[in-house]
Amino acid sequence: MHIEQHSIARVGWLRAAVLGANDGIVSTASLLLGVVSASNSQQNILLAGIAGLVAGAMSMATGEYVSVSSQSDSEKAALAEEQAELHADFPGETDELTAIYLRRGLEPALAREVAEKLMAHDPLAAHARDELGITEISSARPLQAALFSALSFAVGAVLPLVVALITVPEYTLPAVTLSTLLSLAILGAVAARAGSAAVLPGMLRVTFWSALAMGISAGVGTLVGYAVG
């Protein structure tokens, strides 16, 4: 029996991991650039970086858990409703499944045969997949999403923080900027490769929007520095 493994099966944890790492790098780098532009104190950089890392990781974890839990609750409610419909009108649900396969191009007799076979095997799974679009791959996993988001955010946030701390003050701004853009380009390439997508568009998309975010943060930090200085 030939079983294929597709990259789409990784979409759940891959999305959470890439989002977390990207957020960790961009938000921490933007925060540090804002602080560096206003005040180049190593103590301020350290405090801002650690606070941003911890707060960001916790925010990512809770945000992912809440949002994915809402998706999971919706899926469970839809499945419960579908189960009730199966109990109330099994023949009607068989007709509904047949109609779905007819719309997908099967001949009437074959569509009916497929619907009846699937209804005899696992009617709820058949309707979940073909009527509701809920599959094992797309099913929401709140804890997995929260864990991958928090860990990847923390890993991503460490890079600009370490660069800021080991660089002499006058070179902190360009060092953080360049190292962040490089790491984001690598992240975009790795994410695209893991998802079997085109590498260059992924790199350019991540790098462009992240550079814009950091530029705005640095500009605001500079204005604040002038205002309070």
**Res 195: pLDDT:** 66
223 CB neighbour count, 10 Å cutoff: 13
72 CB neighbour count, 10 Å cutoff: 16
What are the average pLDDT values for consecutive 10-residue runs of the chain, which has 229 residues?
43 66 84 78 85 88 85 87 91 91 91 92 88 69 81 89 87 87 85 75 83 77 68
Is-contact 176 162, C-beta < 8 A? no
Residue 39 phi/psi, 5-degree rounding, is: -155, 125
**Res 5: pLDDT:** 46
Is-contact 35 45, C-beta < 8 A? yes
Identity of residue 51: A
**Res 134: pLDDT:** 78
| Burial class of residue 217 in the structure, from the number of CB atoms within 10 Å of its CB (0-12 exposed, 13-18 middle, 19+ buried) | buried
| Burial class of residue 84 in the structure, from the number of CB atoms within 10 Å of its CB (0-12 exposed, 13-18 middle, 19+ buried) | exposed
**Res 137: pLDDT:** 54
**Res 205: pLDDT:** 84
